[in-house]
Amino acid sequence: MRLILISCLAVLALLVPWAHAAAAPPPPAWVNISEPIVNQLAAQGKKLEWPYQTAGVVCDAISGDVFLVLPGQGLWKSADRATTFARVDGGAIGGRCETSFSINVDPAGRRLACFMLDGKCAMTADGGKTWQPFADLGRNWDYAAVDWGGETVRNILGERHEVGGEVYLSSDGGKSWKLLFKDAAFDRFGGLGIFDATTLMRTWPGHGIERSTDAGATWKKVSDLQPNGRVMKVNRKGTAYWLCPAGLLVSRDKGLTWVALGRECPGSIGPMFDREEDSHLAIAGAEGIFETKDRARTWAKVAPLPEKFDVPRPGGWFTNIAWDPASDTFYASRMGFPAYKLERKKGR
């Protein structure tokens, strides 16, 4: 009898781990969210422009609203986690997003600015209900940094597309632009940041991080660290973050000094802020989407990018990644491909 009992316990010991493993939930999968809109437009006889499909996505981290770019058909908004969309730009937005920083979102919510390539550009302060257009500079923008610190957005620093590395500053919310500098080495590999009307940041390979406190008249090198993110991000507390392979760069003194958190940072898109902001962040790059819950000491992989997506050069070119931290939902769009979402938990 004792031998039979021991044998039964041994069999159970083998079966229980197997049963537990079999019951584990499958990993989250990317789901196409743009197909219904694209089909709807086709049925209405409305044509998408090159590169067709979608070309940009961003998420308001406070409301969870998702904004999707359809080339030639403007900006579409969803308030139900990409289940349904409706166009919200009223003709104020056109073209496509060239980089992950073509649409800059206020970390405090509701406000976003669209720096489009080959189309109209504008900014909204009320989640897409009304729009303030930007002055047209031809083919317009690759990316831009926005000073979200005041009640009214005035200060913007942006890099124009394929004109030899021209960088412009606006002090009136995009109504006019002033050429600050032009350097061919800056084109496609530079990066920008802005704190206020006079405090600006820039970087490009071999130059580390440079800072201006006189609205771009003069620049001074403040760090040898070399960011690979195209835009420095500033949270609601005024802390600046800049992606860098050597670690997530942080400044709490308006860019005067920088420290690297952790030993590496496996992304060039982001960071995207949780509401807590300081400890929980998300980033993305060629190897997929990553998150940290310990202030960049360690990074955990959330998921690979959707099939056939890539990040062809540092800084998030062509591919856009967005995050709704409240529902733990990620969104992805790449020029010429459908847009997708990945939900890690159901409901809010």
Residue 2 covered by a domain: no
The range of the structural domain enclosing residue 79 comes to 28-343
Write the burial class of residue 210 (CB in 10 Å: 0-12 exposed, 13-18 middle, 19+ buried).
Answer: middle
The CA distance from 1 to 6, in Å, is 9
Residue 124 covered by a domain: yes
What CATH code is carried by the domain that includes residue 72? 2.130.10.10
pLDDT score for 25:
60
Give the least confident one: 121-130, 147-156, 305-314.
305-314
* Section 247-255 average pLDDT: 97
The CA distance from 333 to 243, in Å, is 20
Q: Residues 283-317: pLDDT tens digits?
A: 999 999 999 999 999 999 999 999 999 887 777 78
Q: Where are the beta strands (DSSP E) in 42-171?
A: 57-59, 66-69, 75-78, 86-87, 103-105, 112-114, 122-124, 132-133, 141-146, 156-160, 166-170
Residue 21 covered by a domain: no
Residue 167 covered by a domain: yes
pLDDT score for 27:
65
The CA distance from 215 to 249, in Å, is 23
* Section 224-248 average pLDDT: 95
How many domains does the chain fold into? 1
* Rg of the chain taking only CA atoms, in angstroms: 22
Q: Residues 49-89: pLDDT tens digits?
A: 999 999 999 999 999 999 999 999 999 999 999 999 999 99
pLDDT score for 26:
65
pLDDT score for 152:
94
Q: Residues 168-209: pLDDT tens digits?
A: 999 999 999 999 999 998 887 899 999 999 999 999 989 999
The CA distance from 35 to 78, in Å, is 14
Residue 289 covered by a domain: yes
Residue 348 covered by a domain: no
pLDDT score for 312:
75
